[in-house]
Amino acid sequence: MKGYLQSLPGVGGLFQRDIQPAEVWAFWKYMQERFRTKTANKADSLEMQLAAEALQRMGILDRQRFLERYATTVGRTLYLPFEVGVPKGGWDLWAQVVVCVHEHQHVVQHDEEGPSYELAYLTSPAARAKYEAEAYTCNLELHYWRYGTLPAVRPMAEGLKHYGCRPEDVEVAAHTLALTSVSVRHGAVVSEATHVALEWLNSHVPHLRAKKG
């Protein structure tokens, strides 16, 4: 998610400031406390280096793309290609908020299914597409909360090709996200991680919320 404007004139000539680095850091701290997670630098992790090699050999994901463009959650550890609260290419501050919620939804999936979640994610393209579609629901919910609109779901689903998902898996994900969009547009929040996130966002950065209706 790129290209968010830093300050826009609002109603009555007021200016709406963007989320700040300290707020992003505080948000991550809150989510980690609620879900009992920790973070690690992805580039410095031997486990992630080995995973990158394995994913490339399996034809699922390019090694460098995996290390630089994706956050990865294993159990209760979130491996990040950025420092929380420090914007960098491809990871602006709001994108860091969104990926925090997305990855914590994977923690929810892990809690619901146990070790079989990781096994299914790695070995089944269909399961991987299903899990990612569920986590991308968080992206839709947060986008609607902030902007009052919904992004196109097809590009999200098409992005699953980089996860080694088959065309039929992408189609199922696109259909799932399209149905979810209808609910989100009517104000529904279906993801547990988003529910938790909105408690903090509504309390600490309510100025970011879109004025609807």
Residue 207: the pLDDT is: 95
- CA distances (Å), 80 to each of 12, 188, 193, in order? 39, 29, 18
Strand order in the sheet with 72-74: 38-41, 77-80, 72-74
Sole residue written with tokens 């969104």: 98
Rounded to whole angstroms, how far apart are CA atoms 27 and 35?
A: 12
Euclidean distance between CA atoms 195 and 149, whole angstroms: 18
Are the beta carbons of 163 and 203 closer than 8 angstroms? no
Q: Residue 55 and residue 34: Cα distance in Å, rounded?
A: 30
List the one residue out of 83, 74, 194 whose CA is nearest residue 140: 194
Residue 72 is which amino acid? T
Per run of 10 residues, the mean pLDDT along the chain (length 213 residues) is 31 61 98 98 93 83 87 95 94 97 97 92 93 97 97 94 91 96 95 98 97 70
What's the rounded Cα separation, in Å, for the pair 109 and 113?
A: 6
Distance spanning both ends of the chain, measured CA to CA: 25
Quote the pTM value: 0.88
Amino acid at 116: S
Q: What is the largest CA-CA distance in the chain?
A: 57
